[in-house]
Amino acid sequence: MDSTNQSLKPLTVKVNEAGNLEIGGCDMVKLVEKYGTPLYVIDETTLKTVCSDYKKAFKMYPKVNMMFASKALCTMATSKLLFDEGFGFDVVSAGEIYTVYKAGVDMAKVLFNGNNKSFDELTLAIELGVGRISVDNFFELSLLNEIAKSNNKVVDILLRITPGIECHTHEYIQTGHLDSKFGFDLTQIDEAVELILNEYTNLKLHGLHAHIGSQIFETSVYGDEIEILVKEIARLDEKFGLKLDEINIGGGLGVKYTEADCPPSVHTVARIVINRLNECIKKYDIQPPALFIEPGRSIISTAGVTLYTVGSSKQVPKGKKYVAIDGGMADNPRPSMYQAKYFAEIANKKDNLSSNIVTIAGRFCESGDILIKDIKLPELEEGDILCVYNTGAYNYSMASNYNRVQKPAMVLVNNSQSDMIVKREDLDDLISHDVIPDRLKK
């Protein structure tokens, strides 16, 4: 294993003397006694090690800006931690902007992305001094210019482009292919640039931005993406005399959800990106641009696990054995959304041999709420604690209150200490936004 994204489990996982799973020096069974289930757990050591993997791997290029993609996980504590580790943030909503702002992040290190940012969101971004806005389409160019003008500001922007690269990941998390809802088509860039240079004088264009997809295991696609971005920068210089000095290649590096997954290391990807960038700088004769990367999943996924309590089970005659847990598609929608696969172990009775093939069913009222199909686990009984690995990314951030179930708490563990960083919702939280109109109160 060369980097943390290639690990199936958090780096501090072990079985302790009690035979229980331990992460960050904390016994997972004791954690459940203290905080309940379902429970998201983030291992600080794993998170900091990933950050250092990235810093080491990319230090070969002098101008790198690492922006954590907040969509993978956005909480104030994790934002503060990542900011302290030297990361900026890719944000996509007023909610994400506000969270990092309240966490004390330097807003100059924040980049606002998204294909349909609203007037209010763009206004908030300008007011709070977000460092870059990646403009996605013609409508947004005009809207942002108007807002910037009325605020007497010149706003620093990138153009999000669709580089026309297909990567082999789930269709819903591919974004760089030509027929995508995100970004300007390559054939639309000139028109956008002409508008910026001639009409939208409250916008200052610094560079180009692309993101080709998520959970990517191929490495050549990053080189292809760099070539397209640098070639465009050189072409825009020749055509418009425009000196762009930033390229943002997005995120996308995959993680190891199951033994079958073999993601490349951060170092391999960094080598490919930097070598190709240096080659392209020479080939297209441009000044070395600042490089922005926006990893989300590969930063936070491995550090996270989710703990559940086992409840009912059902053996279908001549069929599967279903074991139900107290969470599922509302706290982790990825299996039902993308057929995502996960690995799990039992957190108590770790010594027991894996002997049964079972299907882990969620508690939500959908047949599709199956968290893990056909996994080998020891005999499970009501009250056992199941630990599902690699749930740090796109779990809490995609969670819902489906079936009016409260969202779980999140705990940060490190050096045998646990701190709650997101409180468990209670029943009153669930109804706190409901209003019964007076006319119904008879």
Ligand X SMILES: Cc1ncc(COP(=O)(O)O)c(C=O)c1O
Q: Contact positions toward ligand X, by CB under 6 A?
A: 69, 71-72, 90, 113, 175, 211, 214, 250-253, 294-298
Least distance from ligand X to the Cβ atom of residue 7, Å = 16
Distance CA 109, CA 127 (A): 15
Is 330:364 a contact under the CB 8 Å cutoff?
Answer: yes
247's tokens: 């390229």
- Of the two residues 248 and 309, which places its CB atom closer to ligand X in the complex? 248
Q: Is 19 in a helix, a strand, or coil?
A: coil
Q: Is 415 in a helix, a strand, or coil?
A: coil
- Of the two residues 175 and 414, which places its CB atom closer to ligand X in the complex? 175
Three-state helix/strand/coil letters over 214-266: CCECCCHHHHHHHHHHHHHHHHHHHHHCCCCCEEECCCCECCCCCCCCCCCCH
- Of the two residues 20 and 298, which places its CB atom closer to ligand X in the complex? 298
- Of the two residues 223 and 252, which places its CB atom closer to ligand X in the complex? 252
- Of the two residues 296 and 328, which places its CB atom closer to ligand X in the complex? 296
Least distance from ligand X to the Cβ atom of residue 231, Å = 20
Q: How far is CA 319 from the centre of its chain?
A: 36
Least distance from ligand X to the Cβ atom of residue 183, Å = 9
Rg of the chain in Å (alpha carbons): 23
The closest of 365, 320, 325, 329 to 344, measured between CA atoms, is 325
Distance CA 251, CA 215 (A): 9
Q: Is 51 a catalytic residue?
A: no
- Of the two residues 92 and 377, which places its CB atom closer to ligand X in the complex? 92
Selecting among 167, 262, 365, 387, the annotated active-site residue is 365
DSSP notation for 298-316: HHHTTTEEEEEEEEEEEE-
Least distance from ligand X to the Cβ atom of residue 392, Å = 11
CA dist list (Å): 116 to 70, 124, 141, 353: 17, 15, 11, 51
Least distance from ligand X to the Cβ atom of residue 297, Å = 4
Least distance from ligand X to the Cβ atom of residue 70, Å = 9
Is 403:364 a contact under the CB 8 Å cutoff?
Answer: yes
3-state helix, strand, coil in the chain (%, to 5): 35, 25, 40
DSSP notation for 142-203: HHHHHHHHHTT--EEEEEEEE-----SS-GGGB-SSSS-SSSEEGGGHHHHHHHHHHT-TTE
- Of the two residues 67 and 324, which places its CB atom closer to ligand X in the complex? 67
Least distance from ligand X to the Cβ atom of residue 58, Å = 14
Least distance from ligand X to the Cβ atom of residue 60, Å = 20
Distance CA 189, CA 176 (A): 15
CB half-sphere exposure, 441, CA atoms < 13 A: 4
Q: Maximum CA pair distance of the chain? A: 77
- Of the two residues 156 and 369, which places its CB atom closer to ligand X in the complex? 156
Active site residues: 365
